A and B are shown apart, each in its own frame.
Chain A
Amino acid sequence: DIQMTQSPSSLSASVGDRVTITCRASQAISNYLNWYQQKPGKAPGLLIYGTVSLQSGVPSRFSGSGSGTDYSLTISGVQPEDFATYFCQQTYSSSWTFGQGTKLEIK
């Protein structure tokens, strides 16, 4: 299986900060990288697919980038509703895998 390593595992930020979460794959995944947000007690929701494509309804402060093995999710101007856990997912191989998650907390 392709291993997905997210960093950091947790992150403290203030409202208005710019934050970046990274995800490294154990092999190249050709931009088949998705990002999800999960709030406590809720199901995850899709933020970004295919590295850079914003899911409909997701605020434009969220953006994604990357290539090869290294990918990132950036929130430009964190809002109170953004404090949550974020997961990356690769669907390049026939056995999909998630990163371990990054918890974004209020500083």
Chain B
Amino acid sequence: EVKLVESGGDLVQPGRSLRLSCTPSGFTFGDYALSWVRQAPGKGLEWVGFIRRNGPGFGGTTEYAASLKGRFTISRDDSRSIAYLQINSLKTEDTAVYYCTRSRTYYPGSNSYYDDYWGQGTLVTVSS
């Protein structure tokens, strides 16, 4: 069974940093890209960014939403099968549930993806 479990969400003060973790199971972690999506209370989905799989043609590179670029960093450790989302200089508007997703290419060699499995989310609350 494919599962993704996020952790690390917390109540933090503005200006602080936080690192979220995503621990997948049920599939070969290194074969897939991973994405982060957030949802502010009562709002829609906002894509944060994703990290490609490592290896030729993919390189483990990252992409981010233009509006969020600079404060968010996604990384992965294939040896430990874990992915991270680092958020720096937290703002009150970063308050949201953060989801980790498994991102799959449409077909081998494609550079476009869809999110076929989602974690249950972890809540980040930014408040003084």
Q: Which A residues are closer than 8 A to B by beta carbons?
A: 1, 32, 34, 36, 38, 43-46, 49-50, 55, 87, 89, 91-92, 94-101
Contacts and interface: CB of A to CB of B under 8 A. Distances in A.
Contacts of A36: 45, 115
Contacts of A45: 118
Judged by DSSP, the binding face of B is strand
Interface string B72-96: 0000000000000000000000000
B47 A46 contact: no
B116 A55 contact: yes
Contacts of A32: 106, 112
Contact of A44 (B66, B112, B113, B118): B118
**What are the 10 A-B residue pairs with the smallest beta carbon separation, nearest first?**
A49-B114, A43-B118, A98-B45, A101-B44, A32-B112, A96-B47, A34-B114, A94-B63, A91-B112, A100-B44
B118 A95 contact: no
A34 B113 CA distance: 9
Interface string B52-79: 0000000000011111000000000000
A9 B104 CA distance: 28
Interface string B92-116: 0000000100000010000011111
A91 B116 contact: no
